[in-house]
Amino acid sequence: MFIVELLRVESLSAGYGNMTIIHEVSFSVEKGEIFSVIGPNGSGKSTLLKALFGLARTFSGYIFFNGKEITNFPPHERVKNGLGYLPQTGNVFEGLTVRENLLLAGYEYSNGELDERLESVQEFLPDVKRLMDRKALTLSGGERQMVALAMVLLKNPIMLMFDEPTAALAPKIAEEVFGRIVKLNREYGLTVLLVEQNTRRALELAERALLLVSGSVKFFGSADELLNHRDLLSLYLGL
């Protein structure tokens, strides 16, 4: 198979204020793969995603996405270039209905385009249809996650970054979320960058992975290899 590098991160250092949280992180994500970022609590996984999306402060290094250097692009420019990001929380407007949330997410589309995008998103997430007139506030965690996903998919991303999409979800609902991520990848060709607390599931789903510890890369390579690397997993993740 012809391998295309979609995201390349070179020696990226980033954080908040004058505090560096991730240190000279380098890795790449290939087009069409599921790529997992794992690591202990507080190791900088969320900060890495925020830096990739332009929400954390980048001190040095480079980010290339889909053939372009995007290191200093503001978030909306990254979205235009095909990057999607599903944060852990705060991803829906609680006081608005699901329909209003979706309309807001698609505000840049013309009416015709928006209808088309809404239809294709609802084809993938048919359950969103019955939630349309509900206030986001009244949704369960799983439903909220689904609506947030619909809002991101509306923008037609090439690569989608999930920040702990199963956090605080019951195991059965978490499995549904994983199933949806795999389906997006296999059937819709979406490249996935997954930050996940459930290390085993994250490594089973992914082709390749990154282990981040105290903001530094401890492993970058095959997810299978990391899954079988007992020393690394027990040392850093207590597995």
Ligand X SMILES: Nc1ncnc2c1ncn2[C@@H]1O[C@H](COP(=O)(O)OP(=O)(O)OP(=O)(O)O)[C@@H](O)[C@H]1O
**Beta-strand (E) ranges in the chain?**
5-16, 19-30, 34-38, 57-65, 68-69, 83-86, 159-163, 191-195, 208-213, 216-222
* Contact residue for ligand X among 11, 16, 74, 137 (CB under 6 A): 16
Binding of residue 45 to ligand X (CB under 6 A): yes
Q: Is residue 168 close enough to count as binding ligand X by CB under 6 A?
A: no
Name the phi and psi angles at 54, rounded to 5: 85, 20
Closer to ligand X at the Cβ: 45 or 78? 45
Smallest distance, Å, CB 148 to ligand X?
A: 17
46 binds ligand X (CB under 6 A): yes
Closest CA relative to residue 232, chosen from 192, 195, 199:
199
The answer to whether residue 36 forms part of the interface with ligand X (CB under 6 A) is no
Among 6, 7, 9, 21, binds ligand X (CB under 6 A): 21
Q: Which stretch binds ligand X (CB under 6 A): 36-44, 132-140, 145-153, 174-182?
A: 36-44
Cα–Cα distance for residue pair 24/210, rounded to 1 Å: 13
Of the candidates 6, 25, 34, 44, which one interacts with ligand X according to CB under 6 A? 44
| Contact indicator for 101, 66 with CB cutoff of 8 Å | no
199 binds ligand X (CB under 6 A): no
Angle of helix 111-124 relative to helix 98-105, nearest 10 degrees? 120
Q: Give 89 or 228: the residue with its C-beta nearer to ligand X.
A: 89
Question: How many C-beta atoms surround the C-beta of residue 126 within 10 A?
Answer: 9
When asked if residue 165 is in the footprint of ligand X (CB under 6 A), the reply is no
Touching ligand X, residues 47-76 (CB under 6 A): 47
Question: CB of residue 46 vs ligand X: minimum separation in angstroms?
Answer: 3
The window from 39-47, 118-126, 202-210, 218-226 that contacts ligand X (CB under 6 A) reads: 39-47
Q: Nearer Cβ to ligand X, position 41 or 110? A: 41
For residue 212, the minimal CB distance to ligand X (Å) is 7
Q: Rounded to the nearest whole angstrom, what is the least distance from the CB of residue 21 to ligand X in the complex?
A: 4
CA distance 239 to 236: 8
Residue 14 · residue 22 · CB < 8 Å? yes
As a whole number of angstroms, the distance between CA 138 and CA 12 comes to: 40
| Contact range with ligand X by CB under 6 A, out of 34-42, 57-65, 198-206, 224-232 | 34-42
What are the backbone dihedrals phi and psi of residue 209, each rounded to the nearest 5 degrees, phi first?
-155, 165
Residue 128 · residue 122 · CB < 8 Å: yes
Residues interacting with ligand X, by CB under 6 A? Answer: 16, 21, 39, 41-47
